Every structure is written in C-alpha cells, then in structure tokens.
A = this chain, B = another copy of it.
C-alpha cells in the first residue's frame, strides 16, 4: 500500500522545526499486526488526515511482527493533541485500543545527517 504516485511528496524529516513531530509506537503480535495496521489506516483515512493542522503520516511495520510505528507531523503540537481528544475519533480508536497499548510522544528533531552519496533506486 502506497499513497504516493511519483515519489515527489515523500515526507521529509523536519530538522528545521517547521512542524511538530510525533512518533507513535504500537506494540502488537505477529498474528494481530495486519489487523492493527488496517485499523490504524482506516482511522487515518477517515478522520485523522482531515483534522486541522495535519501535515503527514507514515506507517511502519516491523519486520519481526511486533510493532507498528506511525511517524506523523502536525503544524503545531496542539493540533495533534486536539485530534487525540476529539470525540469524533473515539469510534476509530476504541478497536485499536483492544489490540495495542500505543504510546504517543512529541519530539524535537535535534540532529539529522545524510551520506554524501546516496543509493539509487532499483
């Protein structure tokens, strides 16, 4: 699943502090990982991406099956916090809460470095 078509709008790690970064870690089990991912993507598609201040979300599935991580960016920390408290998102979060004890944390990107020569696709 991939919402990008041309690769030109892939979210960038925001070391310049233009927006607020949250890393949301959802522990799970291999047998529940896909179901949890489907619920998270449904919440994203139906409510989260439409909330004020939303900038980007990127869902990561651990290869070992035990984690899902959402790396998400918002215009301001308060926008994300308001989304989490919004009664409209509760019907989407309730079944997620039955599968995982997710933890949300706000972060400052303090350092970012990229190799001078990057690998090319393919």
Q: Hey, which bits of chain A sit against chain B, CB under 8 A?
A: 1-4, 7, 9-16, 18-19, 21, 23, 25, 37, 41, 44, 49, 54-64, 66-67, 69, 71, 75, 77, 105-115, 118-121
Chain B residues with CB under 8 Å of A107's CB are 60-63, 67, 69
CB closest residue in chain B, given A37: B110
A10 and B1 in contact (CB under 8 A), knowing A59-B112, A61-B110?
A: no
29 A-B contacts (beta carbon < 8 Å): A2-B15, A2-B16, A2-B111, A3-B111, A7-B16, A10-B12, A10-B14, A11-B114, A12-B12, A21-B60, A25-B25, A41-B111, A54-B115, A55-B115, A56-B112, A56-B113, A56-B115, A57-B111, A57-B113, A58-B111, A59-B109, A59-B110, A59-B111, A59-B112, A62-B107, A63-B105, A63-B108, A67-B107, A71-B71
